Structure formats: structure tokens, C-alpha cells
């Protein structure tokens, strides 16, 4: 295992500890905790298995190294999450607009019971 992999795994262990700490303090709900736990465990496995990823990519005919593949994959995943976040923000903006319009017209917002 290279020094870069060891440093990468140390950073991932730090983030795993932070996720566990936030869960203990009830700052993360179960779904968020499971997501971040799975995310960091998969990241750790990818770093630890980097040479195997290199070999698999070479067998598939790719000339890039495993770290490049993981970087490209992570950028694609980040763009997907940004897209999802933008959709949620647009939905929230629409709901806020409806509430403000009702308040401005003197209507009471409907209570959800």
C-alpha cells in the first residue's frame, strides 16, 4: 500500500469518526447516517483496492489509471447531487411563493393536520 493510499484512508477514517460523532449527538437522522456511512466505506474500499481497479480498467481496455476513473466517477456523482439539490430548491421556492401569495392576499395558509 502506498503512502498516498495510507493518507487517503486516514482521512476517510477521520470522516467516518465525524459521522459517528454526529450520529451520537443526534445531528444526523438514520437515513443521512446510513448514506454517509456507506459513502465513506465505499470510498475507503476504492482507495484500498486501487491496484485491483487499475487492473480491471486495463482489462476493459481503458488507458486511464484507477485514480483517474475514481475522480471522473466522483465528479459525475457530485454533479448528480447538485442537480438533485437544485430540484429540491426549486420545489421549495415554489412552496414559499405560494405561502407568501396567500399571506399577501389575506388568506390563511392551510394547516396540515
Tell whether 14 is covered by a domain: yes
For the chain, residues with pLDDT lower than 50 are none
Tell whether 81 is covered by a domain: no
* Residue bearing cell 451520537: 24
Tell whether 63 is covered by a domain: no
Tell whether 72 is covered by a domain: no
User: What is the residue range of 29's domain?
Assistant: 1-48
Give tens-digit pLDDT for 47-77: 898 888 888 888 888 777 777 888 888 899 8
The pLDDT of residue 87: 95
CA torsion sign for 3, 5, 9, 11 is positive
The pLDDT of residue 61: 81
Tell whether 21 is covered by a domain: yes
Take residue 79 and report the three cell numbers written for it: 454533479
Helices H, strands E: what count in the chain? 4, 0
Burial of residue 80 (CB within 10 Å: 0-12, 13-18, 19+) is exposed
Are 54 and 48 contacting, i.e. CB atoms less than 8 angstroms apart?
no
Rg (CA), the chain: 21
The pLDDT of residue 17: 95
The pLDDT of residue 25: 95
Report the domain count for the chain. Answer: 1
Tell whether 108 is covered by a domain: no
Tell whether 58 is covered by a domain: no
Tell whether 65 is covered by a domain: no
The pLDDT of residue 113: 54
Amino acid at each position: 500500500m502506498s503512502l498516498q493510499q495510507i493518507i487517503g484512508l486516514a482521512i476517510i477514517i477521520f470522516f467516518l469518526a465525524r459521522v459517528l460523532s454526529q450520529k451520537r449527538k443526534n445531528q444526523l437522522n438514520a437515513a443521512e447516517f446510513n448514506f454517509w456511512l456507506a459513502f465513506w466505506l465505499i470510498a475507503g474500499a476504492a482507495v484500498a483496492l486501487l491496484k485491483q481497479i487499475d487492473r480491471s480498467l486495463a482489462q476493459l481496455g481503458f488507458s486511464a489509471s484507477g485514480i483517474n476513473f475514481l475522480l471522473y466517477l466522483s465528479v459525475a456523482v457530485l454533479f448528480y447531487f447538485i442537480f438533485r439539490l437544485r430540484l429540491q430548491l426549486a420545489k421549495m421556492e415554489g412552496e414559499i411563493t405560494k405561502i407568501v401569495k396567500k399571506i399577501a392576499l389575506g388568506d390563511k395558509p392551510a394547516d396540515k393536520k
